[in-house]
Chains A and B, each alone.
Chain A
Amino acid sequence: AQSVTQLGSHVSVSEGALVLLRCNYSSSVPPYLFWYVQYPNQGLQLLLKYTSAATLVKGINGFEAEFKKSETSFHLTKPSAHMSDAAEYFCAVSTNTGGFKTIFGAGTRLFVKA
């Protein structure tokens, strides 16, 4: 069975500071890993994905994540936070079982202070 754990339900940073959102996964097979962002009253949007190619993955809006198999982690980072980054972030893992079954983490709410 696959699972995802996001450490910290809320993260608060100052504008211009480093953003670090933590995600650990559990998987019996090489996983497909994703970070999605959800702005208020909207659906989820893909930020980036890991698909067993490069371990450092770059996404949209300046975000990136590093896949570390030894630590079973896929943490999301951004060097400099912007006010517009305030949103809910979900780490997710998927498996193909006749249509993909995607398991989401509990989510981390990012607050950005001026």
Chain B
Amino acid sequence: DTEVTQTPKHLVMGMTNKKSLKCEQHMGHRAMYWYKQKAKKPPELMFVYSYEKLSINESVPSRFSPECPNSSLLNLHLHALQPEDSALYLCASSQARRSNTGELFFGEGSRLTVL
């Protein structure tokens, strides 16, 4: 069983819809991540939150809006997406202290289809 829970597992949305992906972890990790993974490709980093503050934004289009309401939750708000945004969106968490190694704990992902 994964300790990082993502909902929903599948999402189909139109280009004018607004939806959100949710991620929750209870391992006490203070770094949380959103990755995007296209078929047959490695995960691509989108955002990193460290101690609930956005620390890395990999030049992601503004139609993706992350939110970290508390140390256990991470959301990704979606608006006006394009069909090419269809992908598996992976949430991950890790320890945030400099003494740690950055081992990532992944959820099972939310598979998004944009029509």
> Residues on A close to B: CB < 8 A?
32, 34, 36, 41-46, 49, 51, 90, 94-102, 104-107
Contacts and interface: CB of A to CB of B under 8 A. Distances in A.
B22 to A, nearest CB: 15
Contact of A100 (B40, B102, B108): B102
B90 A43 contact: yes
Given A46-B104, A51-B101, A99 B48 contact: yes
Interface SS of chain A: helix, strand, loop or mixed? Answer: strand
B56 A94 contact: no
Contacts of A90: 42-43
B93 to A, nearest CB: 10
Contacts, number: 73
A42 B109 CA distance: 7
Interface residues of B, number: 30
Interface string B89-108: 01010101010111111111
Contact of B31 (A45, A95, A99, A107): A99
A43 B102 contact: no
B75 interface: no
Nearest to A34: B103
Interface of B: 2, 4, 31, 33, 40-43, 45, 48-50, 55-56, 90, 92, 94, 96, 98, 100-109, 111
Contact of B56 (A41, A43, A51, A97): A97
A94 B96 contact: no
A90 B41 CA distance: 10
16 contacts: A36-B104, A41-B108, A43-B107, A43-B109, A44-B43, A44-B90, A46-B103, A49-B101, A94-B102, A96-B98, A96-B100, A99-B33, A99-B48, A100-B96, A101-B48, A106-B42
Most buried by A among B43, B90, B105, B111: B43
B32 to A, nearest CB: 8
Contacts of B90: 43-44
B31 to A, nearest CB: 5
B2 A43 contact: yes
Contact of A98 (B2, B45, B56, B100): B56
